[in-house]
Amino acid sequence: MIKKEKITKDNIVKFPSKLSDLEKEIEAVIFAAAEPLDVDTIESKVTKKGSVSKSLEKLQQEYSKRGINLVCIKEKWSFRTSPNLSNIMSQERTVEKKLSRAAVETLAIIVYHQPVTRAEIEEIRGVAFGTNTLEILMELNWVKPGGRKDVPGRPIQYVTTDEFLSHFNLQKLSDLPTIDELGAAGLIDSSSVDNAIFGTGKFYKEKQEEKKEDIYSNIDEMLNSTLDTEEKD
């Protein structure tokens, strides 16, 4: 058995009242305007006859319970987001910032010398730097603390992160170019660059190991090639 619900004014779906042609024109004019409009300007743009002021009041009432409200500020009309929905209308923007020279040099030293302490960074650069330099690099998630050095005071050592490799499209640290490779590519003047920046840290060791592997693989190829030739003979 179907239960019949008593119809009351509270459970009747209310649709917006029908707008007149004048009200529709006013709505369109205000919506398309680049800035708030006063009554005189609206009157000059509509083609239908009638009271623009009364139509504006009716439209304001119609929009009062919607996500967009028709508001009048200093006698000028415009559509605005409903105040109670402002919290979901916030816009996130990505702001591009250029790293300072100090940050770039600090990053380069960490990359090529890691793990490296703050004191070692300053020694290589030849100058002290502000605490915000490291903070910026850590906020970017390119640098992180990598334990403490086993010396008196046990200073924090800094290393690069996986995010650093991902951001610069690197598989491993040894994929980074050496100073000679950068110079050969014309990206830097190797004669004027402080070689200390490129150092002999983990990157350098990995690069050297990679070179050794290449040498050994070349030797194996040569031996195999020689053996193949002897067998053919």
In this structure, of 70-79, 95-104, 158-167, 178-187, the range with the lowest mean pLDDT score is 178-187
For position 218, what pLDDT does the model report? 46
| DSSP code at position 91 | -
Edge-to-edge strand ranges of the sheet holding 116-117:
116-117, 156-160, 143-148
Question: 220 lies in a domain?
Answer: no
User: Domain holding 107: CATH number?
Assistant: 1.10.10.10
For position 13, what pLDDT does the model report? 47
For residues 77-91, give the mean pLDDT: 80
Regarding whether 174 and 113 lie in a shared domain, the answer is yes
CA atoms 206, 212, 215, 220: torsion sign: negative
The pLDDT tens digits of the residues spanning 106-153 come to 888 888 888 899 988 888 888 887 778 888 899 989 999 988 988 888
Question: 201 lies in a domain?
Answer: yes
Rounded to an integer, what is the distance from CA 81 to the centroid of its chain?
A: 27
Tokens at residue 192, please? 């004027």
Q: What percent of the chain has pLDDT over 70?
A: 65
- Answering whether pTM is above 0.75, one says no
Question: 95 lies in a domain?
Answer: no
Decide if pLDDT at 15 tops 60. Answer: no
Give the residue with greater pLDDT, 64 vs 95: 64
Regarding whether 106 and 206 lie in a shared domain, the answer is yes
The pLDDT tens digits of the residues spanning 170-226 come to 878 878 777 666 666 655 555 545 555 555 444 444 444 554 444 334 444 544 544
For residues 4-23, give the mean pLDDT: 64
Decide if pLDDT at 38 tops 90. Answer: yes
Q: What angle do CA 56, 32, 83 make, to 5 degrees?
A: 65
Which residue among 34, 50, 82 closes a domain?
A: 82
For residue 116, the SS3 value is: strand
For residues 3-18, give the mean pLDDT: 56
Regarding whether 71 and 143 lie in a shared domain, the answer is no
Tokens at residue 58, please? 């009716």
For position 186, what pLDDT does the model report? 57
Decide if pLDDT at 157 tops 60. Answer: yes
> Could you tell me the pLDDT band of residue 158, with boundaries at 50, 70 and 90?
very high
* Structural domains in the chain (count): 2
